[in-house]
Amino acid sequence: MVTINIRGPPNADYVFGFPGIPASWPRISGVVEVRGAPRQPFRLTSVTVSLYRTEKITVQTKSLGLSQVKRQESYLVGSELAVFNTALAGEQLVAVDLPFTYELPVIGDIPPSFCQSKIAETVYQLYATVNVHGQGVTRASRPITIYRYDKLSIFGIFKEPKTVRTSSPDHVVMLAATFPRTSFGPNDVLRVIVDVLPNPDLHHKSAKAKMRGLTLELVELATFNVHGDAPFSKPRRVRQSKVVFNNMKVPAEGYRSEVGITVPVADTRNKDGHVPYEFDGAPNTLMPSFSMTASLYSIEYCVNVHVRMSGCKDVELSQKVFLTPFDAEQCQALKEPLNDAIDYAHRADHAETLVSTVMRPTDADGLARAASNRTHLYIE
């Protein structure tokens, strides 16, 4: 029987480019190593590489008539890639190294690897399928961790201030909230400028309006697509900040305050106090969860601003924001590598033919070299 191994380039990750940024040419690069048993040549028929995404959800809900609902789906990402040169079919071989470049699709969503406390999970697995004449099919796999980079705070769409306005149900006061930016990472401070303004057309009522307190909260909304039922949403308060006004009158010129919330950080250390390596394709990030959209579930975030009033009805508003595993400092550090990847993608030959390393039993010392060093053939 043959043995199969999938390895990445030396001292590099499997994933190249920046998934979520099509111009950076997102792709997976590696080598499929096929080795025969000692002094037993083999004949290859085909070798293919494929990437699969598996999503799992576990929903605790009584509204669906069950205490717990589980669902799992797997999807082929892109198209299966043939990496074996059919010109070699039928030849006796003792070892083969087959390099490959598996392009990630730019049309359609590629959700990031994700794992949130056994509630929702997205993992990727890279498979190599080898068909050997007279021996059938043999497979090997390798977990792949994929991050998305389309929600970095360095992008202009997230640095553009957003202002949301609304009025109290009785139109006595108006509330405006300005968000200087809308993308945040772990330990970033989410700042909001809040304005409470009296309605000049209802001066006789707004002059009596008083502010009791202001609440700013970051809310996570997880939506699950349970088979045969409507999507089920589960909100969760992530963090909250309060300001007490003690019935302060709304000034005629209005009231302005800046309120902030620090985005929480997850403790990734294990019981021994060590930070583990990524395992089974699950990302090891400082974020307990972040914004993402998959087929079975989605994670979204919003900031709610609520002003408690006396003399008129309370007023509140909401603004969607994005959470990413990368804090502001990391996003700045990614700017140069991202530009370099885009520049390389423009210059590179995407259809370049990769050269395989083949060892035959007729090669000088071929059988002896394959038996003594079966997993360390590298492409020059």
Kindly state whether residue 125 falls inside one of the protein's structural domains.
yes
Kindly state whether residue 21 falls inside one of the protein's structural domains.
yes
The residue range of the domain holding 232 is: 156-331
Kindly state whether residue 309 falls inside one of the protein's structural domains.
yes
Give the model's pLDDT for residue 119: 85
Kindly state whether residue 343 falls inside one of the protein's structural domains.
no
Can you name the residues that pair with 349 across neighbouring β-strands?
none
Residues 6 or more apart in contact with residue 89 via CB below 8 angstroms: 43, 44, 45, 46
Q: In terms of domains, do 198 and 215 share one?
A: yes
Q: Count the Cβ atoms, other than its own, within 10 Å of residue 35.
A: 22
171 phi-psi bin (left φ>0, alpha ψ -120 to 50, beta other): left
Give the model's pLDDT for residue 376: 41
Give the model's pLDDT for residue 380: 30
Give the model's pLDDT for residue 370: 52
pLDDT in tens, 284-337: 677 778 999 999 999 999 999 999 999 999 999 999 999 999 999 999 999 999
| Tokens representing residue 326 in the block | 């990368």
Q: In terms of domains, do 195 and 67 share one?
A: no
Q: In terms of domains, do 82 and 172 share one?
A: no
Q: In terms of domains, do 7 and 85 share one?
A: yes
Q: In terms of domains, do 160 and 47 share one?
A: no
Give the model's pLDDT for residue 235: 92
Q: In terms of domains, do 18 and 108 share one?
A: yes
369 three-state secondary structure:
helix
Looking at the 3D structure of the chain, how many domains does it have?
Answer: 2
pLDDT in tens, 22-62: 999 999 999 999 998 887 888 888 999 999 999 999 887 66
Instruction: Say what the pTM is.
Output: 0.86
Kindly state whether residue 353 falls inside one of the protein's structural domains.
yes
Q: In terms of domains, do 256 and 178 share one?
A: yes
Residues of the chain with pLDDT below 70 are 61-67, 117, 227-229, 267-282, 284, 364-380
d(CA 98, CA 129): 12
Give the model's pLDDT for residue 378: 34
Q: In terms of domains, do 174 and 321 share one?
A: yes
Kindly state whether residue 341 falls inside one of the protein's structural domains.
no
The enclosing domain of 102 has a CATH number of: 2.60.40.640
Kindly state whether residue 377 falls inside one of the protein's structural domains.
no
Q: In terms of domains, do 191 and 100 share one?
A: no
Give the model's pLDDT for residue 37: 83
Q: Phi, psi (5° rounding) for residue 354?
A: -85, 140
Instruction: Evaluate whether 111 touches 281 at the Cβ level (below 8 Å).
Output: no
Q: In terms of domains, do 133 and 217 share one?
A: no
Closest CA to 255 of 212, 218, 216, 217: 212
